[in-house]
A and B are shown apart, each in its own frame.
Chain A
Amino acid sequence: MKHIAPPDTGDDDGKGLLIRRIKNGTVIDHIDGGEALNVIKILGIVGSTTETLSIATNVPSRNMGRKDIVKISNRELSKEEVDRIALISPRATINIVRNFKVCEKQGVEIPVLIVGNVRCPNPGCITRTNEPIKSRFAVLPDGKGLRCIYCDSVITKDLTNFII
């Protein structure tokens, strides 16, 4: 008798999806368990957002043990947005959905530069003033941290604490 494992889509008990399919938009899958809210934060989706979001956290996953899923309706993330996610969850996968069909599927790549979204940890940095500039961080090799291109301060841990 052939055993067929249930699809890895976040089923609660194999009978139904925790969150509904979306017609159009982006599904971010395989986010490390518990990191979904940080993913949303680094995408700049904060405060009084108008986007329709569905979030599932700590969903059982065959490959990852636990994973998070984020679905954003009616918005297709750009390559730059997608790659920011790599800093938090390098195994995440991105599915672009159009009319209920996955039209594009891609992994995330560690970006070279992060513009905005991250606050420099150095209170003496010029980016912490009212100057009309966004913070800019060069990503260290292998994504091991971020270096502020203005003051050279480095963030190597607790990155999520610095997401604006």
Chain B
Amino acid sequence: MSFESAMARLGGSSISVSSVEACSMAKGETLADTIRVVSGYADAIVIRHPKEGAARLAAEFATVPVINAGDGAGQHPSQTLLDLYTIRQSMPVDGIDVALVGDLRYGRTAHSLASALSLYGVRLHTISPPGLELPPALAAGLAEKGMEIISHTDIGEVIDEVDVLYVTRIQRERFPDSTSYFNVASSYRITPELLAGAKENLIVLHPLPRVDEIDPRLDASPHARYFEQSKNGVPVRMAMLLDVMG
């Protein structure tokens, strides 16, 4: 929706295909063919797809610019740009401490953000349920770039150290039953009480939508920046569209 809003504000229009059923892929058309066809209809393609690597494939077959708006559990680079923008509204990104909380294995926003933060000398703290840690290959790649990554089992261990608390949704389908999910999810819930010991200028971000990860009582706190972050998605995506379309 934010890309559509961005395009409209630039004075352009967009054609949205929100489900496979609404396009020829429902008839068995490959993504490659769909992209070749859509290349003739639009000046740029913004793709969100459930398979990792779909955006790269699209870029190979498209004759117009392609923007990755999320590929499966892979990457979400446009989200990262607005995340960085939101951080920079509050503090310089260089050398800060950032905590990633939640499903870091399948959370594509966390993957892209971690990669980007590795360019800024950021110290990364990870807090995730067992089995949902950062993918080992990604963590190894970040470490090779010189990024310090510290994993924690409890948010409380690190709450007084971090400048940014980046919270992601823990997906229910990753757990065998509802009880397991609720037990884990509740232990990663961000509450005003948890933030009592936080730095004064800590900001809490979330790519949204949230479910239970952030207590709604936190919304009024000066730490809460997730709605501002979401709003930032529009100008950042306007800039991206302008950039790729000249």
Q: How far is the CB of B153 from chain A (nearest CB, A)?
A: 26
Cβ B73 vs Cβ A124 within 8 A: yes
Cβ A133 vs Cβ B74 within 8 A: no
Cβ A131 vs Cβ B138 within 8 A: no
A131 contact from B32, B50, B74, B137, Cβ within 8 A: B32
Residues of A within 8 A of B74 (CB): 151-152
Cβ B51 vs Cβ A154 within 8 A: no
Cβ B51 vs Cβ A125 within 8 A: yes
Assuming the contacts A124-B73, A153-B137, asked whether A148 and B30 have C-beta atoms less than 8 A apart, the reply is no
Give Cα A151 to B74, complex, Å: 6
Cβ A124 vs Cβ B51 within 8 A: yes
| Centre residue among B49, B52, B60, B73 by max chain A CB count within 10 A | B52
A144-162 to B contact mask, C-beta < 8 Å, 1/0: 0001111111100000000
Cβ A126 vs Cβ B52 within 8 A: yes
Q: How far is the CB of B132 from chain A (nearest CB, A)?
A: 15
Residues of A within 8 A of B72 (CB): 124, 151
Give Cα A66 to B36, complex, Å: 52
Provide the main secondary structure of the chain B interface.
mixed
- B60: nearest chain-A partner, CB-CB: A133
Cβ A129 vs Cβ B51 within 8 A: yes
Cβ B56 vs Cβ A131 within 8 A: no
Q: Decide yes or no whether B54 CB sits under 8 A from chain A.
A: yes
Q: How far is the CB of A129 from chain B (nearest CB, A)?
A: 6
Assuming the contacts A133-B57, A148-B53, A152-B74, asked whether A126 and B137 have C-beta atoms less than 8 A apart, the reply is no
Give Cα A149 to B51, complex, Å: 14
A-facing residues in B82-134 (Cβ within 8 Å): none
B32 contact from A133, A151, A154, Cβ within 8 A: A133
| Centre residue among A126, A147, A152 by max chain B CB count within 10 A | A126
A-facing residues in B20-53 (Cβ within 8 Å): 30-32, 49-53
Cβ A130 vs Cβ B30 within 8 A: yes
Give Cα A151 to B138, complex, Å: 11
Cβ A127 vs Cβ B137 within 8 A: no
A150 contact from B57, B73, B140, Cβ within 8 A: B57
Assuming the contacts A124-B52, A131-B57, A133-B57, asked whether A152 and B138 have C-beta atoms less than 8 A apart, the reply is yes
Cβ B57 vs Cβ A151 within 8 A: no
Q: Decide yes or no whether A106 CB sits under 8 A from chain B.
A: no
| Centre residue among A125, A127, A147, A152 by max chain B CB count within 10 A | A152
Cβ B52 vs Cβ A122 within 8 A: yes
Residues of A within 8 A of B53 (CB): 125-127, 148-151
| Centre residue among B31, B60, B138 by max chain A CB count within 10 A | B31
Cβ B52 vs Cβ A147 within 8 A: no
Residues of B within 8 A of A16 (CB): none
A125 contact from B30, B31, B52, B140, Cβ within 8 A: B52
Give Cα A102 to B51, complex, Å: 48
Known contacts A151-B72, A154-B140; 8 additional CB pairs below 8 A are A126-B31, A126-B54, A130-B30, A132-B30, A150-B56, A151-B74, A152-B52, A152-B138
What are 23 pairs between A and B in contact, CB < 8 Å?
Answer: A124-B51, A124-B73, A125-B52, A126-B31, A126-B51, A126-B53, A126-B54, A126-B56, A126-B71, A131-B30, A131-B31, A131-B32, A132-B30, A133-B32, A147-B137, A150-B56, A151-B53, A151-B71, A151-B72, A152-B52, A152-B74, A152-B75, A152-B137
